[in-house]
Structure 1
Amino acid sequence: MAVEEKVWSGEAEMVSARTTEGELGVLPGHAPLLGQLAEPGEVVIKGTETGDLYFTVEGGFLSVTSEGVTVLAEECAPSTAKSATH
């Protein structure tokens, strides 16, 4: 599957997501990891210039490196509010 589009890129205070291993919150300086996103899931990007951002995701992975956090999802759509899963 090819990358279709970049949904968001920027600076954030924290990224949280539900993985198959449980709820994960990533702050600056987090140890590198690769997690499989739980389905259905939500990724929350906290502390952006425009406020907190919420995305509903289906399938995919969350990668944390020294360069930052990358979420690769099969499907992604902006949400207006935090879901009941968080």
Structure 2
Amino acid sequence: MADLEVDLVAADGKIWSGRARLVSAPAADGEIGILVGHTPVLTVLRRGELRVKTSDGEALRWMVDGGFLSVDSDQVTVVVDSVEAATDTAAH
């Protein structure tokens, strides 16, 4: 199965890089989901959760604020203004 090549970068350096099946990001005009074979796109990001489902099934999450996402030939580049690890906020 083909995978996406993903790079998540902030102003202070690379946050994560690897192979993924799915990238979901908070685009300025709504949530965007990227799968293998997605058409080329460049979009501005708003504050929200960036999710990556890795090739081995691991679910990764970060809270991002600002930046952009670029997709071309199954290469996904996410450049963000700020990023922090996402945390579960649900009360039990």
Q: Same fold (TM over 0.5)?
A: yes
Aligned to 1:58: 65
Identity of aligned residues (%): 43
Q: Determine if the alignment matches structure 1 residue 9 to structure 2 residue 27.
A: no
Structure of higher RCO (CA pairs closer than 8 Å, 6+ residues apart): 2
| Alpha-carbon distance in structure 1 between the residues aligned to 2:73 and 2:57 | 24
Structure showing greater Rg: 2
Aligned to 2:52: 45
| Alpha-carbon distance in structure 1 between the residues aligned to 2:73 and 2:64 | 23
| Alpha-carbon distance in structure 2 between the residues aligned to 1:74 and 1:48 | 26
Aligned to 2:3: none
Q: Is the 8 A contact 2:36 2:74 kept in 1?
A: no
Distance 1:13 1:67, change over 3 A: closer
TM-score (norm 1): 0.82
In the TM superposition, what is the alpha-carbon distance from 1:80 to its structure 2 partner?
A: 3.3
| Alpha-carbon distance in structure 1 between the residues aligned to 2:50 and 2:14 | 14
By percentage of residues, which structure has more strand? Answer: 2
Q: Is the 8 A contact 2:19 2:55 kept in 1?
A: yes
Aligned length: 81
CA RMSD of aligned residues (A): 2.2
In the TM superposition, what is the alpha-carbon distance from 1:49 to its structure 2 partner?
A: 3.6
Structure 2 residue runs of 5 or longer lacking an equivalent are: 1-9
| Alpha-carbon distance in structure 1 between the residues aligned to 2:35 and 2:11 | 26
Amino acid at match of 2:18: G
Structure 1 residue runs of 5 or longer lacking an equivalent are: none
In the TM superposition, what is the alpha-carbon distance from 1:3 to its structure 2 partner?
A: 3.8
Aligned to 1:27: 35
